[in-house]
């Protein structure tokens, strides 16, 4: 049985930014493999992707909008349901995650994910049933990430 996962905006950003060197190549591989895996994206990650790529000049507004549309067609997109904000606020209040990271984690947990690939959150941290893995750690893809992606 495959593990349901999600990708943080950082993974999406590196997949679009050819100037990101080795991170770009790995992120492209991740997104391609995720498209064939049990992977969902959050509305939040797509919005953060749009903002980061346009703000940092990686993509024009038109190209970023096109990429968000394409990603939305390839992946199931999930948003927060009632109760998610309460969990996110509790995590932020406890100092475990920022409110935005807590919101993303609670959203993917309610969507049945057990894995988030992210460079920006603490590698190895947990939020309920969700484990966070940094796919850029080390010279090869971490085992759990590779298995979830079928690599």
pLDDT tens, N- to C-terminus, the chain (151 residues): 579 999 999 999 999 998 988 899 999 999 999 999 999 999 999 999 999 999 998 899 999 999 999 999 999 999 988 888 998 898 888 888 899 999 999 999 999 999 999 998 888 889 999 999 999 988 888 888 888 998 8
Task: Identify the architecture of domain 5-149 in CATH.
Answer: 3-Layer(aba) Sandwich (3.40)
Secondary structure (3-state) at 77: strand
Q: Tens digits of per-residue pLDDT, 56-86?
A: 988 999 999 999 999 999 999 999 888 889 9
Rounded to whole angstroms, the Cα distance separating 133 from 38 reads: 16
Q: Where are the domains of the chain?
A: 5-149
Region of residue 80 (phi > 0: left; psi between -120 and 50: alpha; otherwise: beta): beta
Alpha carbon distance 74, 122 (integer Å): 27
The rounded distance, in Å, linking the Cα atoms of 46 and 48 is 5
Which whole-number Å values give the CA distances from 29 to 11, 14, 42, 138, in the listed order? 10, 11, 19, 16
């Amino acid at each position: 049985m495959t593990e349901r996962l999600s990708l943080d905006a950082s993974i999406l950003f590196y997949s679009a930014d050819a100037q990101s060197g080795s991170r770009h190549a790995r992120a492209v591989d991740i997104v391609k493999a995720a498209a064939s895996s049990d992977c969902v994206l959050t509305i939040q990650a797509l919005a953060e992707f749009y903002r980061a790529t346009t703000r940092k000049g990686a993509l024009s507004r038109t190209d970023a909008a096109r990429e968000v549309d394409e990603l939305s067609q390839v992946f199931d997109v999930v948003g927060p349901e009632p109760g998610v904000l309460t969990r996110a606020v509790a995590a932020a209040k406890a100092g475990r995650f920022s409110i935005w990271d807590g919101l993303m984690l609670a959203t993917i947990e309610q969507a049945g994910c057990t894995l988030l690939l992210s460079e920006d959150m603490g590698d190895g941290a947990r939020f309920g049933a969700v484990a966070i893995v940094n796919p850029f750690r080390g010279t090869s893809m971490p085992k759990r990430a590779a298995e979830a992606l079928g690599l």
